[in-house]
Amino acid sequence: MLTRINKNNTQELAAFIAGRNQEISSDVLIQVSEIIEDVKENKDEACRRYTKQFDGVDQKTFRVTEKELDEAIQQCDPDFCKAMQKAAQNIIDFHQAQRQKGYRLQKEMGIYLGQRVLPLESVGIYVPGGRAQYPSSVLMNAIPAHVAGVKRIVMVTPPDKQGKIHPNIAYAAKIAGVSEIYKIGGAQAIAALAYGTQSIQSVDKITGPGNIYVAAAKKMVYGKVDIDMIAGPSEILVIADEEANPEYVAADLISQAEHDPMASAILVTTSQALLEKVNAALQRQSAVLPKKDIIEASLRDYGKSVVCDTIEECIDISNAVAPEHLELMNKEPEVYLDLVKNAGSVFMGYYTCESIGDYFGGTNHVLPTSGTARFSSALGVDAFIKKSSYLHYTKEAIEAYGKEIIVMAKEEQLQGHANAARIRMEDKQ
């Protein structure tokens, strides 16, 4: 049953959702910084040692060959492959619309200035291994990089006990435009991507989810390379009116709750009657699901409900929470979309369950968590480009505007700045 929150306690609810982030313990930080230093110094040898220690595999080389990739892919379920292909195409379509162009302004006296949009030269994508594997996450990270024009897209993923790559991960990499794959995981993989080894060339940015060691390593190498946002526990906020089907609402709340005991599912509704039906459906549906224990823990500790008078009031609450996922399960969701100010991704109407977006619809599933949708965005093409400005002045132009530059520089007590303009103005050549 979802814990009931009074609609006037919105700020407390927002703080509760934002406050779930896991602290990284100093034990983990120390261990990870030792691994990073070791990989910086001993490169491939250190990577091999850690892979033996943590993954139980002694590998001479990390790179997945074409042959190994093809053999892995042979083992995939053909229906899964077909679904992945369609999903990949939808994701490509959505992200292609995000491509940006540079611009140039031409002004008086031969002055021009502008901005170029350039892809990053190389990107590393971390893909977790172990029992749970997420091929959808390979698509969501690699496709935007590929669409952005990144030439070198490097995937790292831990080997299984037999030293193999998971077939589904291999297939996802193949269709998403990954250019190099290495079987290495954990903090050692992040260190190798950031600093380079004999066999793995360093990259400019690292994205992708991982466990607490991977997250700690990403934080530590940030600055040397760029990283994506470190995701906190996931959340969904469902706004539902009295016509929403309580079975759908419950199913969607559960699909969030099954990720993690710290995931949060929040129902904000105009209907007390619906809330009661949803609570009953949550119990019934979760009882038969494999991840029953996780779901029950998540709903018990982080499941919340709020009853409001109007959909506008529901949206005010959502804007304060700034949820990663927002479902608008009300009539005319399009009318209300404009009121939504803070949400990673919005799922519109009664039939758009979050899992469509998680896998298939085309929008990105890497979204800002824990209230950070107030100021940040889904992963997309923007994450894999940089913008570089340029400016051109002629002799005539610096003679015309040099005095403005000199007066501003002098007020800031930077005479050297003034001098660079003056020297060009006074030059009578």
Q: For residue 388, with 0-12 CB atoms within 10 Å meaning exposed, 13-18 middle and 19 or more buried, which class applies?
A: exposed
Which residues neighbour 416 within 8 Å (Cβ) at sequence distance 6 or greater? none
Which residues neighbour 24 within 8 Å (Cβ) at sequence distance 6 or greater? 212, 215, 216, 219
Number of neighbours of residue 246 by Cβ within 10 angstroms:
21
211 known member of a binding site:
yes
Residue 300 interacts with its own copies (CB under 8 A)? no
Q: For residue 280, with 0-12 CB atoms within 10 Å meaning exposed, 13-18 middle and 19 or more buried, which class applies?
A: middle
Is there a catalytic annotation at residue 247? no
Nearer to its own copies, 173 or 254 (CB): 254
Residue 87 interacts with its own copies (CB under 8 A)? yes
Residues of span 129-158 touching its own copies by CB under 8 A: 131-136
Residue 287 interacts with its own copies (CB under 8 A)? no
- Asked if residue 190 lies in contact with residue 230, where contact means CB atoms within 8 angstroms, the answer is no
Strands (DSSP E) along 135-277, which ranges?
A: 152-157, 180-183, 205-207, 226-227, 235-240, 264-269
Nearer to its own copies, 49 or 417 (CB): 417
Output the DSSP codes for 90-126: HHHHHHHTT----EEEE-GGG-EEEEEEEE-SEEEEE
CB of 242 to its own copies, least distance (A): 16
Residues of span 302-341 touching its own copies by CB under 8 A: 333-334, 337, 340-341
Nearer to its own copies, 51 or 358 (CB): 358
100 known member of a binding site:
no
Residues of span 243-272 touching its own copies by CB under 8 A: 245, 247-248, 251-252, 254-255, 257-259
Output the DSSP codes for 131-161: S---HHHHHHHHHHHHHHT-SEEEEEE---T
Site mask for its own copies (CB under 8 A), range 32-71, x = bound: ----------------------------------------
CB of 183 to its own copies, least distance (A): 20
Pick the binder of its own copies from 50, 62, 182, 360 (CB under 8 A).
Answer: 360
Which residues neighbour 420 within 8 Å (Cβ) at sequence distance 6 or greater? none
Site mask for its own copies (CB under 8 A), range 165-204, x = bound: ---x-----------------------------------x
Nearer to its own copies, 7 or 424 (CB): 424
Query: Which single residue is written with the structure tokens 């470190």?
Result: 230
CB of 404 to its own copies, least distance (A): 4
Pick the binder of its own copies from 23, 162, 290, 309 (CB under 8 A).
Answer: 290
Residue 26 interacts with its own copies (CB under 8 A)? no
Which residues neighbour 201 within 8 Å (Cβ) at sequence distance 6 or greater? 122, 152, 154
CB of 393 to its own copies, least distance (A): 4
Pick the binder of its own copies from 17, 58, 80, 233 (CB under 8 A).
Answer: 80
Nearer to its own copies, 66 or 411 (CB): 411
Is there a catalytic annotation at residue 325? yes
Catalytic residue among 325, 327, 354, 365: 325
Token output for 198: 């004999």
Residue 398 interacts with its own copies (CB under 8 A)? yes
Q: Which of 265, 67, 266, 250 is nearest to 170 (CA)?
A: 67
Residue 79 interacts with its own copies (CB under 8 A)? yes
Q: Cα dist. 95→297, 379, 382, 383 in Å?
A: 36, 10, 10, 12
Question: What gap in Å lies between CA 256 and CA 286, rounded to an integer?
Answer: 12
Pick the binder of its own copies from 9, 61, 272, 419 (CB under 8 A).
Answer: 419
Question: What gap in Å lies between CA 266 and CA 282, rounded to an integer?
Answer: 12
Task: Candidates 63-71, 118-126, 153-161, 184-192: pick the segment binding its own copies (CB under 8 A).
Answer: 118-126
Pick the binder of its own copies from 40, 116, 164, 331 (CB under 8 A).
Answer: 116
Pick the binder of its own copies from 21, 33, 179, 199 (CB under 8 A).
Answer: 21
Query: Which single residue is written with the structure tokens 């006990």?
Result: 161
Which residue ranges make up the annotated binding site for Zn(2+)?
Answer: 256, 259, 358, 417
Q: Point out the residues that are catalytic.
A: 324-325
Q: Which residues are annotated as a binding site for substrate?
A: 234, 256, 259, 325, 358, 412, 417
